[in-house]
């Protein structure tokens, strides 16, 4: 492989994990302050200047509810900018790695979604991410890793909070913590997603869509209970349902994803419980003493 790894969106939760996972290789990392991905000319110039072997895009507009009233920005960042980056990667002869979401599905399934299941987005955010997937896959060496409920931020993280950041932070403060009992998820630990990305690049696995979540599935309530167990602190969990806590954007009820295709390519994702334990330990929580 000749040429560096170009990481775009390097200041995000996943972007930081990707930069760390490739620390032993030449990396060119851009954050929003050095590259606005909605500037297609800048994208083309930046990619050409780096002459990368691989372009990894971690930048996205992830404000699911705000996207409902701001579809222009969601589509600009999650879809049109992906087209610019994919095309720029192709013209430089680089592989293009991009990240999708479980939200492309309607959430009406009863068993984990596989890559061939038909998407049916139910929110502006979900539709913008699906369009981005299509643009990413429209180049010969395009990969989309669908991730879900991404976690892995360090303590004191100042970027956008994810659901698990919110749960852990609330538990640590001793606040009552409201969690859904009727949303089923397969969370993705950012460092594991970064290693899976590395595997796909290095193994020569076929381009296309891969579900990249930690193994297993659980309701948010069960995930929160596991956080409480690992932290070893008293907690006040308050069960809520999707119906009792309406949000501007529709959430899929059942979002478990099967990672069997990734496993068949030679990379097994650890269970979400094991990943959660590593995260709590890395943040300096109680689980660190259980190792
Ligand atoms: N987080 C989740 O639960 C989740 C779930 C499913 C899929 N995903 C996908 O996983 C990938 C990584 O997500 P993440 O949680 O790591 O994201 P994140 O922490 O929200 O980071 C996204 C980064 O993109 C940057 N960005 C936004 N607009 C930009 C622009 N116009 N130009 C350049 N940079 C821009 C943001 O900068 P600012 O902070 O300055 O805005 C931020 O640093 C994304 O594709 C996301 O859609 C995430």
Identify the pLDDT of residue 159.
77
Determine if ligand 1 sits within 6 Å of the CB of residue 18.
no
Number of H helices, E strands in the chain: 11, 12
Identify the pLDDT of residue 154.
72
Domain ranges of the chain: 5-155+187-215+258-270
Determine if ligand 1 sits within 6 Å of the CB of residue 36.
yes
Task: Kindly name the residue from 63, 99, 113, 125 that is annotated as catalytic.
Answer: 125
Give residue-wise pLDDT tens across range 92-136. Answer: 999 999 999 999 999 999 999 999 999 999 999 999 999 999 999
Range 46-58 average pLDDT: 98
Determine if ligand 1 sits within 6 Å of the CB of residue 159.
yes
Dihedral sign, Cα of residue 31, residue 202, residue 153, residue 216: positive
Do residues 83 and 128 lie in contact, with contact meaning Cβ atoms separated by under 8 Å?
A: no
- For residue 283, the tally of other CB atoms under 10 A from its CB is 18
Do residues 15 and 7 lie in contact, with contact meaning Cβ atoms separated by under 8 Å?
A: yes
Range 21-49 average pLDDT: 98
Identify the pLDDT of residue 158.
77
Residue 162 pLDDT exceeds 90: no
Centroid of ligand 1 to alpha carbon of 59 (angstroms): 4
Give residue-wise pLDDT tens across range 197-252. Answer: 999 999 999 999 999 999 999 999 999 999 999 999 889 999 999 999 889 999 99
113 is catalytic: no
Check: CATH 1.10.10.10 for 5-155+187-215+258-270? Answer: no
Determine if ligand 1 sits within 6 Å of the CB of residue 14.
yes
Model confidence at 288, in pLDDT bands (50, 70, 90)? very low
Identify the pLDDT of residue 291.
24
Identify the pLDDT of residue 121.
98
Q: What average pLDDT is seen over the chain? A: 94
Determine if ligand 1 sits within 6 Å of the CB of residue 80.
no
**Cα–Cα distances in angstroms (integers) from residue 208 to residues 14, 26, 59, 116, 259, in the given order:** 20, 25, 19, 11, 14
Identify the pLDDT of residue 287.
52
Centroid of ligand 1 to alpha carbon of 65 (angstroms): 14
What distance lies between CA 251 and its chain's CA centroid?
A: 16
211 beta partners: 146
Centroid of ligand 1 to alpha carbon of 70 (angstroms): 16
Identify the pLDDT of residue 229.
94
Using a pLDDT cut of 90, give the percent of the chain over it.
88
Residue 284 pLDDT exceeds 60: yes
- Distance between CA atoms of residues 85 and 75, nearest Å: 14
Using a pLDDT cut of 70, give the percent of the chain over it.
97
Do residues 92 and 198 lie in contact, with contact meaning Cβ atoms separated by under 8 Å?
A: no
Range 255-275 average pLDDT: 98
Q: What is the pTM of this model?
A: 0.96
Closest CA to 18 of 49, 60, 55, 50: 55
Model confidence at 161, in pLDDT bands (50, 70, 90)? confident
Q: Which atom of ligand 1 is nearest to the CA of 163?
A: 3
Residue 286 pLDDT exceeds 60: no
CA end-to-end distance (rounded Å), the chain: 37
Identify the pLDDT of residue 289.
34
Residue 157 pLDDT exceeds 80: no
If residue 176 lies in a helix (H) or strand (E), which one and from where to where? strand 176-180
Range 249-270 average pLDDT: 97
Contacts of 217 (CB under 8 A, 6+ apart): 112, 184, 185, 186, 256, 272
């Amino acid at each position: 492989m000749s040429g560096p790894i170009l990481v775009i969106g390097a200041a995000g939760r996943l972007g930081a994990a990707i930069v760390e996972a490739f620390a032993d290789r030449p990396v060119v990392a851009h954050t929003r302050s050095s590259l606005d991905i909605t500037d297609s000319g800048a994208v083309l110039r930046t990619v050409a200047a780096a002459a990368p072997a691989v372009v990894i895009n971690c930048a996205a507009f992830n404000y699911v509810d705000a996207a409902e009233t701001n579809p222009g920005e969601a589509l600009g960042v999650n879809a049109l900018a992906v087209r610019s980056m994919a095309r720029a990667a192709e013209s430089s002869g680089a592989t293009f790695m991009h990240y999708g979401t479980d939200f492309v599905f309607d959430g009406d399934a009863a068993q984990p979604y596989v890559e061939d299941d038909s998407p049916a987005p139910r929110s502006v955010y979900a539709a913008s991410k699906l369009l981005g997937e299509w643009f990413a896959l429209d180049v010969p060496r395009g990969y989309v890793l669908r991730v879900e409920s991404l976690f892995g931020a360090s303590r004191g993280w100042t970027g956008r909070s994810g659901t698990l950041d919110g749960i852990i932070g609330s538990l640590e403060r001793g606040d009552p913590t409201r969690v859904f009992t009727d949303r089923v998820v397969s969370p993705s630990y950012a460092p594991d997603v970064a290693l899976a990305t590395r595997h796909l690049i290095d193994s020569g696995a076929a381009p296309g869509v891969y579900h990249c979540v930690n193994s297993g599935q659980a309701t948010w309530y069960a995930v929160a209970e596991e956080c409480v167990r690992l932290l070893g602190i008293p907690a006040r969990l308050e069960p809520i349902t999707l119906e009792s806590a309406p949000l501007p954007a529709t959430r899929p009820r059942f979002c478990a994803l099967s990672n069997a295709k990734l496993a068949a390519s030679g990379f097994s994702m650890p269970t979400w419980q094991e990943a959660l334990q590593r995260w709590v330990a890395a943040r300096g929580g109680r689980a660190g003493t259980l190792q």
